[in-house]
Structure 1
């Protein structure tokens, strides 16, 4: 090219490469514009359109003296779908370290990117592009961060199942005591209804003894210690019915 033996050359290389810089700085060689660059990139997904602005090579000499359209190739990182997810993340980390810096045609962090959609995107790569590097890898060695992350996703379903069970353990005995108290409440309600309907003043002592037996049962149960407030409330209700029986306030009785 420099000796004039050929008229043109298509060079696949980086802008900062020695070959590209040598040709750009040669005054006898000019960079040609790819007039149909946009068409190529639309029809061939592994091409990308890039442009050199006027004066992009040398502002003082205004080189080039007009905008130039070029095409660049993309490098695809393809993997076997059986590759371990951790290795996939390492590949992407390495690609970002190599290609993630600012260059003449790319902004910092622009690559790696999912641009060529001919190949499907792996789940790990999709997570990497959306969330970035796993948080633990920023603070821990790779092997430890990877182990903890895998264990977290492995134990997460178990934790979701076990959480309600673990949460209910401290209140299990209390709930059992409240259930026992509620059963006596139902018994007390049934007793009062039957007594109102069939009250016999001569059996007042028998009625009161039934109430006393209920109170003794609740005092001897574990509910008296585990659900103290509910226990005192039940005893107050028993005492209320006992007083009503003694005074015959709400009971009609069977007279004459």
Structure 2
């Protein structure tokens, strides 16, 4: 009955020694991890601002889809309705938006913009619709628009600036043309009502205005005979073909292949946007833009080949790489934490290997200290007796007390020899003191 408490005390003491030996190393690693967490900041903000486009536009439609994708990850996307690509770019530059849809050719970028591409998402062809006139030849080149009443979209869309560059390449001055700046919906209605002769839209094929005009019987689409030349002169253009019947097979719309030029829309983000948010948007882009379209085959988009800006590592990984296996099983916040902190924690573990060598000596020192600390008292007793500062009777009492205390010291079995050595030394000290006495004690 008396052995259990002593055994328990010994085990508890050994555990305390072990924890005390590991403790400094543990707190060092914990401090490093906390510091690394603060420095890396692995968890992203819960809200992000996204500049989309006019209400009802393709940009606005995709903006809602991105918001749904990120909502499932606990991120709120605040959609900002704009006039279009040019305004979106301005909002990014002014730090009034975090991510935005930007059409190629909107503006020239500089290093001061501090923007990254998350991938090219889809083609936005330059749709030039015009009213068909009896006996009039089909329009196949921009100079044929010179005498027509033409709408080139609103300034915020970026289309007017783009058309100015194209007219200038054709030696046409926009100041001498009959130009209006109506939004897509108003321009479409004006063209159908005969108030305009032609309109220019830069929209994805999903646009309801494009589909409506393709079905209009008295409206035709410009077949650009010089599409390849434009793609060579302007790096942001691609020469594409609208296949016959792709809009509507039953009605054979369009009735023949149409040559066009297309801009590539990219998803841009500011460099200071949290990497986890950039990754979420890039992952959503892969899910939303990988399907077959009028101008592309399946998985042509998103891509990193046609980006005008450097592609972020997150965009490149999502589009061209293979996601780590743990992302399929772990919730977003935990997978993100593993990704951001995993490499650093691995480095800490490697650092722990040499540092862990100090634990055995430290543990040994703590255990032996419980034994060796009593040698100071034993030596003091002997010295006081030798110098006559303490009587033998008093020394014997103090040695008895010391022996009792040492008997209560708990050490692992591997260190028991040192404990017994101390007790033997106490007994030897007692014999020396007895030997110094003039007579029997």
Instruction: Please give the TM-score of this superposition, normalised by the length of structure 1.
Output: 0.55
Contact 1:55/1:62 (<8 A) preserved: yes
2:221 aligns to what SS in structure 1? coil
Q: Deviations over 1:100-154 (max 9, x none)?
A: 3333223333322113343112222222222143432222111000111222221
Mapped to 2, the partners of 1:163 and 1:40 lie a distance apart of 62
Contact 1:50/1:71 (<8 A) preserved: yes
Q: Deviations over 1:41-88 (max 9, x none)?
A: 333333333212233344455443432111222222222333322111
Task: Give the structure 1 partner of residue 229 of structure 2.
Answer: 39
2:239 aligns to what SS in structure 1? strand
Which structure 1 segments of 5+ residues have no match? 167-256
Paired residues for 1:49-60 under 5 Å: 49-60=239-250
Q: Per the alignment, do residues 123 and 61 of structure 1 end up closer, same or farther by CA in structure 2, a change over 3 Å counting?
A: closer
Mapped to 2, the partners of 1:84 and 1:60 lie a distance apart of 48
Contact 2:214/2:253 (<8 A) preserved: no
Mapped to 2, the partners of 1:12 and 1:131 lie a distance apart of 31
Mapped to 2, the partners of 1:153 and 1:82 lie a distance apart of 22
Paired residues for 1:93-172 under 5 Å: 93-158=283-348
Mapped to 1, the partners of 2:353 and 2:318 lie a distance apart of 30
Mapped to 1, the partners of 2:285 and 2:300 lie a distance apart of 11
Q: Per the alignment, do residues 117 and 59 of structure 1 end up closer, same or farther by CA in structure 2, a change over 3 Å counting?
A: closer
Task: Give the structure 1 partner of residue 196 of structure 2.
Answer: 6
Q: Deviations over 1:205-247 (max 9, x none)?
A: xxxxxxxxxxxxxxxxxxxxxxxxxxxxxxxxxxxxxxxxxxx
1:7 deviation in Å? 2.0
1:77 aligns to what SS in structure 2? strand
Q: Per the alignment, do residues 6 and 145 of structure 1 end up closer, same or farther by CA in structure 2, a change over 3 Å counting?
A: same
Does the alignment pair 1:24 with 2:229? Answer: no
Which has the larger strand fraction? 2
Contact 1:37/1:49 (<8 A) preserved: yes
Residue correspondences, number: 166
1:93 deviation in Å? 1.8
1:118 aligns to what SS in structure 2? coil
Instruction: Please give the TM-score of this superposition, normalised by the length of structure 2.
Output: 0.34
Q: Per the alignment, do residues 30 and 135 of structure 1 end up closer, same or farther by CA in structure 2, a change over 3 Å counting?
A: same
Determine which structure has greater relative contact order: mean sequence separation of CA pairs < 8 Å that are 6+ residues apart, divided by chain length.
2
Larger of the two Rg values belongs to structure: 1
Q: Per the alignment, do residues 83 and 139 of structure 1 end up closer, same or farther by CA in structure 2, a change over 3 Å counting?
A: same
Q: Per the alignment, do residues 58 and 143 of structure 1 end up closer, same or farther by CA in structure 2, a change over 3 Å counting?
A: closer
Q: Per the alignment, do residues 160 and 68 of structure 1 end up closer, same or farther by CA in structure 2, a change over 3 Å counting?
A: farther
Q: Per the alignment, do residues 37 and 160 of structure 1 end up closer, same or farther by CA in structure 2, a change over 3 Å counting?
A: farther
Which structure 2 segments of 5+ residues have no match? 1-190, 357-441
Contact 1:45/1:116 (<8 A) preserved: no
Q: Per the alignment, do residues 24 and 151 of structure 1 end up closer, same or farther by CA in structure 2, a change over 3 Å counting?
A: same
Q: Per the alignment, do residues 101 and 53 of structure 1 end up closer, same or farther by CA in structure 2, a change over 3 Å counting?
A: closer
Mapped to 2, the partners of 1:129 and 1:50 lie a distance apart of 23
Match of 1:69 among 254, 259, 281: 259
